[in-house]
Structure 1
Amino acid sequence: MFVPRPQGGAPSNVATDRVSEDVTGDITDARRIGRVVAGILLATGDATAADIERANAGLRELGRAPLAERDFVSETPEMLAPKIPLELRTGVLHLIYELAGDEPIRRRLADAYAGLWHDELEPPAERRSGSKVVRWLIGRLPRHHVSANEDNTMVERTDPYRGGEIAAPQLAPVERSPLRHRVERIRQEYLAVIEAVEQVIVGKRDVIERVLTAMAARGHVLLVDVPGVGKTQLCKALAAAIETSFGRIQFTPDLLPMDITGANVFDMRDKEFHFRPGPLFTHILLADEINRATPKTQSALLEVMEERCVTVDGVTHRLEEPFQVLATMNPIDHQGTYALPAAQIDRFMVMLEIGYPTPDDEVRVLDYHLGVVSPLASLKPVISRAAFIDWRETVPLIHVTPEIKRATVDYINGLRRTAEDGHSISPRATLAWVRASQSRAMLSGREFVTMDDLLHVAPDVLRHRLWTDGATVRERLRAVAITGAR
């Protein structure tokens, strides 16, 4: 996995400064704390030698080992925060806020940890004479005893290891920005939608999450798999869980473009032509078995997918927001299918496969669907249309650092250099990749994108543009990073 490295490199070994294992605790916890601190430094893609020195000083204050090379990896707050012991979280939070300073991206990352540890922080312990034992364990015995009536706020010192004591300052209340509140609300709505859809689609939570990630980013979704695995049911369930209108077009070889877009129809009563909208004038459109129609009919969706409007006889008709295409496609080697044009393929943000359920999940499918009432018929909306529109309006507000933008472009250029059979990646795909990363970050409860977000969505965004599978996309990205072809 490619991650920006600190300037001058991180320490290559772990200098323990004679720290007792009784103080450091389990080495796994020590490394996780190091990764939290390293993540703050790398939030802007730039960790200087001075940053690392300050971080190591703070870690020694906590009785932890200095940073090592293996600490500089890409891990999100959601992955690391629950693994930090409760009694250490207050000290770690003070340290990362000190390292973040006024830098906005680092502050956002520190805020993310504060939010995840909300109401779980240990209050700072009152200083007592026993605190000298900790200093002795790290090899720095204080040179005087602390009296009970000594001021307990903060004693200034020039050397943190010589004389005096510093009690942990009181933790200021975390001020959450309006965007943070907005993202937290969207996260809860997102989980509610997943829970609702899982009443119909059993054992495919990962697929549901990936579809919603694309939908929140205003991206169209192409589901490719053999018949009968639940592609159409998934689209219907998503539309039912969101309070929006739903339309379906069953693509067949005799379907005409006007059957999709609509047409001007002559009205005998007033002797004039009037536009009669086609079935795509809806919020969520299911284009079922899209590759059973001819390429001419498939091309009728090109304008509407890109520009959210339809032009008939020179007059442009705009579609109401939100407009979303969820298309299903059978493998092209199945009888009666047509390959999608490259221009059509490129307009889908992601391509996904559903796959067969596990034996246990298939038994649950029987339990769910052999009942008197269909799970889909009983599914009620859990979020409003306005809430779903707010998802889409929030995604562009998710911060992307210049380093992540550059890494994205470097990866894309590396893939273009190694493209085979003329299958390359357009600038539209580059934008789709970053938008999908922003969406994943938002739905994960964060206001900023990490490299983990970028690499997580890469197979879904790039595989149909490179005409390959997700595993091959990951291998090619890894090759780009290793060979320096970026």
Structure 2
Amino acid sequence: MVAGVLLSTGEPSEFDLQRANAGLAALGRPPLSNGDLGTETPETLAPLIPDELRSGVLELLYVLADDEPIRRRIADAYAGLWREEAEPPAQPRKGSAVMRWLVGKLPRHQVGAASKEDEMVERQGPYRDVEIEVEAPVERSPLRQRVERISGEFRRVVDAVESVIVGKRDVIERVLTAMAAKGHVLLVDVPGVGKTQLCKALAAVIETRFGRIQFTPDLLPMDITGANVFDPRDKQFYFRPGPIFTHILLADEINRATPKTQSALLEVMEERCATVDGVTHRMEEPFQVLATMNPIEHQGTYALPAAQIDRFMVMLEIGYPTPDDEVRVLDFHLGAASPLDALTPVITRASFMEWRETVPQIHVTPELKRTAVEYINKLRKGADDGQSISPRATLSWVRASQARAMLCGREFVTMDDLLHVAPDVLRHRLWTDAHTVRERLRAVALTGAR
């Protein structure tokens, strides 16, 4: 188990596995296989380490981290999960040297990283049972502290919204993930499952301005963006902003408006500005579109153009509640007061802005970037006519995975983050459902991404 933790930052080499098995055999323990040392996240492995071993394992993690930032951040992640202050050891213990010989060096995360350990092996031969000078673990970085604070705020926001949107915690988390990544959200489902209610609840717990546009067949583009209005008193034209000039915009039943009106959102969603009579008006940050859409087979709907579909980072379904959750919905809504009235802001606008500014600082290794691109290329080759996965989709996929890592309390992205957000980001671009996206990604993984 300890060896699994120490080797969890990457795939162990055959040399690493042989060295670990030699040490385990000397201790009378069964050998390990490659499956025992698969890549896991600190969240998965940290709870498995007994309390009495955590201090020693944490010390060893910092020893093996050396000067490599990624591995130091992983050691910081274990320190945070175990809720212990990583204090510098007074004297290096001989057990550290033995364990280092047992597991060997950790695999490198970064291509081309300087390997001081390899140079030591070449000069001195294999590791021996000698004392190793241990430096004091560095304090948690400002980024690490900020990510931990944001993760706590995220959980409080989800708890508050879930008090109104019963039994849909996963959907709430996915919407907030896209919002943190500055991505627009499209909620597609049958009428009456809570799409509008979810958007209102999110706006209530985040201290920002909220606007709503009810899309109808007679809605005009100027009803969205605003217009220049003539004032007869001074005989001047003045710009009267439309409802789109807000922080969180609910575009309700967006596919009930005509395509001409729908296109009025395109520039604003992508460029975050609106042009009226040749004058560009910029949106105040944060600007976020939460759109709801009824299934296209419903009467009185217009299909969204592909260009507009691609501007939504994610598309989500809410789904019907379970019988128990539906009973709770009745309990909430049959009362005299609306549940939304009880919601108060949980985070400020400044805090929400900090979420969005922190996401680009979440580290993505070159290997994960390459993996994402290779997956996308493979999906493009297998796509039917009319399907399109643009480079914008690739960027949205990686950015959403950064947001998920941050909201989970990590400052680095794992493969699990990519796979978790993939169905939400890719399904509307492949014109399929979330299950099919997962199956296609699994097929790509089995056949190789290249």
Q: TM-score range by the shorter chain?
A: 0.7 to 0.9
In the alignment, the residues of structure 2 paired with residue 61 and residue 232 of structure 1 have an alpha-carbon distance, to the nearest angstrom, of 63
Change (3 A) 1:60 1:380: farther
| Pairing 1:89–2:59 present | no
Task: Please name the residue that 1:218 is paired with.
Answer: 182
How far has the Cα of 1:159 moved from its partner? 9.1
**Are 1:214 and 1:220, in contact at CA under 8 Å, matched by a contact in 2?**
yes
Map Cα deviations across residues 91-149 of structure 1 (whole Å, 9 max, x no partner): 32233333322221122112111111122899999999xx9xx99xx9xxxxxxxxxxx
Task: Please name the residue that 1:117 is paired with.
Answer: 82
**Are 1:86 and 1:120, in contact at CA under 8 Å, matched by a contact in 2?**
no
Change (3 A) 1:467 1:77: same
| Pairing 1:277–2:246 present | no
The answer for unaligned runs of 5 or more in structure 1 is 1-29, 139-157
In the alignment, the residues of structure 2 paired with residue 159 and residue 190 of structure 1 have an alpha-carbon distance, to the nearest angstrom, of 47
| Pairing 1:77–2:45 present | no
Task: Please name the residue that 1:108 is paired with.
Answer: 73
Computing the radius of gyration from Cα coordinates, the structure with the larger value is 1
Task: Please name the residue that 1:471 is paired with.
Answer: 435
Where do 1:240-389 residues align within 5 Å? 240-389=204-353
Map Cα deviations across residues 190-249 of structure 1 (whole Å, 9 max, x no partner): 111111111110000000000000000000000000000000000000000000000000
In the alignment, the residues of structure 2 paired with residue 219 and residue 72 of structure 1 have an alpha-carbon distance, to the nearest angstrom, of 36
Question: Helix, strand or coil: the match of 2:186?
Answer: strand
**Are 2:63 and 2:134, in contact at CA under 8 Å, matched by a contact in 1?**
no
Change (3 A) 1:424 1:198: same
Residue type of the alignment partner of 2:74: L
Map Cα deviations across residues 286-325 of structure 1 (whole Å, 9 max, x no partner): 0000000111111000000001100011100001000000
Task: Please name the residue that 1:25 is paired with.
Answer: none
Question: Helix, strand or coil: the match of 2:292?
Answer: strand
In the alignment, the residues of structure 1 paired with residue 75 and residue 27 of structure 2 have an alpha-carbon distance, to the nearest angstrom, of 17
Where do 1:133-144 residues align within 5 Å? none
Residue type of the alignment partner of 1:381: P
Residue type of the alignment partner of 2:366: P
In the alignment, the residues of structure 2 paired with residue 61 and residue 445 of structure 1 have an alpha-carbon distance, to the nearest angstrom, of 38
Task: Please name the residue that 1:68 is paired with.
Answer: 33
How far has the Cα of 1:467 moved from its partner? 0.3
Question: TM-score, structure 1 length as denominator?
Answer: 0.81
Aligned positions, number: 424
Residue type of the alignment partner of 2:148: E
In the alignment, the residues of structure 2 paired with residue 413 and residue 234 of structure 1 have an alpha-carbon distance, to the nearest angstrom, of 35
**Are 2:216 and 2:257, in contact at CA under 8 Å, matched by a contact in 1?**
yes
| Pairing 1:446–2:415 present | no
Question: Helix, strand or coil: the match of 2:139?
Answer: coil
Residue type of the alignment partner of 1:179: L
In the alignment, the residues of structure 2 paired with residue 212 and residue 421 of structure 1 have an alpha-carbon distance, to the nearest angstrom, of 32
Change (3 A) 1:191 1:442: same
In the alignment, the residues of structure 2 paired with residue 72 and residue 394 of structure 1 have an alpha-carbon distance, to the nearest angstrom, of 32
| Pairing 1:231–2:195 present | yes
In the alignment, the residues of structure 2 paired with residue 116 and residue 319 of structure 1 have an alpha-carbon distance, to the nearest angstrom, of 39
In the alignment, the residues of structure 1 paired with residue 137 and residue 71 of structure 2 have an alpha-carbon distance, to the nearest angstrom, of 18
Percent of pairs with identical residues: 77
Aligned with residue 423 of structure 1, among 363, 387, 405: 387
In the alignment, the residues of structure 1 paired with residue 30 and residue 78 of structure 2 have an alpha-carbon distance, to the nearest angstrom, of 21
In the alignment, the residues of structure 2 paired with residue 309 and residue 34 of structure 1 have an alpha-carbon distance, to the nearest angstrom, of 53
How far has the Cα of 1:88 moved from its partner? 2.1
How far has the Cα of 1:62 moved from its partner? 9.1
Question: Helix, strand or coil: the match of 2:444?
Answer: helix
The answer for unaligned runs of 5 or more in structure 2 is 103-124
**Are 1:261 and 1:300, in contact at CA under 8 Å, matched by a contact in 2?**
yes
In the alignment, the residues of structure 1 paired with residue 24 and residue 364 of structure 2 have an alpha-carbon distance, to the nearest angstrom, of 28
- What is the root-mean-square deviation in Å for CA atoms of aligned residues? 3.0
Aligned with residue 368 of structure 2, among 404, 412, 417: 404
Task: Please name the residue that 1:98 is paired with.
Answer: 63
Question: TM-score, structure 2 length as denominator?
Answer: 0.87
Task: Please name the residue that 1:26 is paired with.
Answer: none
How far has the Cα of 1:54 moved from its partner? 6.6
In the alignment, the residues of structure 1 paired with residue 87 and residue 51 of structure 2 have an alpha-carbon distance, to the nearest angstrom, of 7
Change (3 A) 1:170 1:297: same
Deviates most, 214-223 or 268-277: 268-277
In the alignment, the residues of structure 1 paired with residue 82 and residue 172 of structure 2 have an alpha-carbon distance, to the nearest angstrom, of 28
